A and B are shown apart, each in its own frame.
Chain A
């Protein structure tokens, strides 16, 4: 029996949907969806090595840090009673508090120092700052964001991180002018955020099939724009933190049919994850993180722009 109290104001339709979609896995899905996750951090390797930071945090706050093997510069935090963002090291920008699954899209995008990278929906900047460190603070990133309120948080995070290679643009990602100049693009779209339902009731409150349909259109618009701005041969990574096929596999299948892109298999060494839901053109190439992987849910697809 699932305890509906834990899900906030989610309508029956949500539960019916996932019972139909997941069959005998549905109970496990609901159980893990509201299970608290281990907090995790990403080390700002521009300023400090993972080992040095681990030593400091263990010494100063009595935490225990366990390496996230498939990332290389992230840790799970154990034995922590404080807010992981309230430390001297955090204020100095030596690390960023981030769910591990949210680190996957940048790892898959694999940006290189010196390249030009587009981050089309960037605030609060978790992935922009990760792009910075992967690019060793070189090259150039266009961090675009439509919300004036959220862009302020993005600025603060970039300053705290010490980013010198980012240009921040306030505006609709579907209307970025210019040519196809980017080597790589990250399309981490606004979504129904079902994976975060246990964290914020707002997500549960605004959930509806109509909202999902509206988001799906916005996501296609953002993906279309990013593809247009990416050089032929360049890589595009599309990601969401929701489980809805309409915002995930269906967006990718639509892109494969309508836009100049090809699909590439998403591979992350040593990461336990599933492929897409069956029945779609992209099913075998995309990646899904489900709550039972004990990470926040995520969907990740990798595309390559063709002429």
Chain B
């Protein structure tokens, strides 16, 4: 649980944003859900809530996008930087180090990791594919 809160605090998400939600640890990490879901009878293999932070302390892109309005540690990238990130997986960019939310024109793109100088994209492959298709459309519309 300590690791979960460290990630939340590092991202600058006020703890009160998660007030009233259930935070539960599992082998995969920490999942957030609502207390009302407990009243619904469980069946084997059902799934609930949203996986927020992995065992390693890495936040999921889905969680970051869901709570994007509350995240302080965001790195704003421009069009060229977004292109570089999606095609090479990283870009030179000075920023606070640690897990971050990458945004472009206030669109929450997903999870990144910064060592202070280099920003790395930390998103699932499928997600990168979807974002790349979107970026290509955006670039095509500019022409």
Q: Chain A residues in contact with chain B, CB under 8 A?
A: 46-47, 52, 56, 60-62, 82-83, 86-94, 114, 116, 137-140, 142, 155, 158-160, 162-171, 177-178, 181
What is the minimal beta-carbon distance from B80 to any residue of chain A, in angstroms?
A: 15
User: By the criterion CB–CB under 8 Å, are B141 and A139 in contact?
Assistant: no
Known A-B contacts A47-B65, A87-B138; A164 and B41 likewise in contact (beta carbons under 8 Å): no
Tell me whether A168 and B134 are in contact (CB under 8 A). Answer: no
Residues from chain B with a CB closer than 8 A to the CB of A90 are 130, 134
Contact B32 A62 (CB under 8 A): no
- Would you list 6 pairs from A and B whose C-beta atoms are within 8 A, ordered by A residue? A47-B65, A116-B40, A138-B36, A139-B36, A162-B67, A166-B48
Cross-chain contact B109 with A92 (CB below 8 angstroms): yes
Question: In the complex, what distance in Å separates the CA atom of A171 from the CA atom of B107?
Answer: 36
Asked if B127 is at the interface (CB within 8 A of a chain A CB), the reply is: yes
Q: Are A91 and B66 in contact (CB under 8 A)?
A: no
Does A56 contact B105, Cβ atoms closer than 8 Å? Answer: yes
Using CB atoms, name the residue of chain B closest to A114. B36
Q: Are A170 and B130 in contact (CB under 8 A)?
A: no
Contact B36 A140 (CB under 8 A): yes
Partner of A91, one of B34, B47, B68, B131: B131
Which residues of chain A have C-beta atoms less than 8 A from B43's C-beta?
169-171, 177
> 8 nearest interchain CB pairs?
A162-B66, A140-B36, A88-B134, A91-B130, A167-B48, A178-B41, A87-B134, A140-B37
- Docked complex: B39-60 residues within 8 A CB-CB of A: 39-43, 45-50
Say whether B26 faces chain A, with CB atoms less than 8 Å apart.
Answer: no
Residues of B within 8 A of A91 (CB): 127, 130-131, 133-134
In the complex the two chains form, what is the Cα distance from A157 to B101 in whole Å?
Answer: 20
Is B107 within 8 A of A168, CB to CB?
no
Given contacts A164-B34, A170-B45, contact A181 B141 (CB under 8 A): no
> A140 and B137: CB pair below 8 A?
no
Q: How far is the CA of A86 from the CA of B140 in the complex (A)?
A: 12
* A177-B41 in contact given A91-B130, A92-B65, A162-B65 (Cβ < 8 Å): yes
Rounded to whole angstroms, the CA-CA distance of A168 and B40 in the bound complex is: 11
Contact A140 B66 (CB under 8 A): no
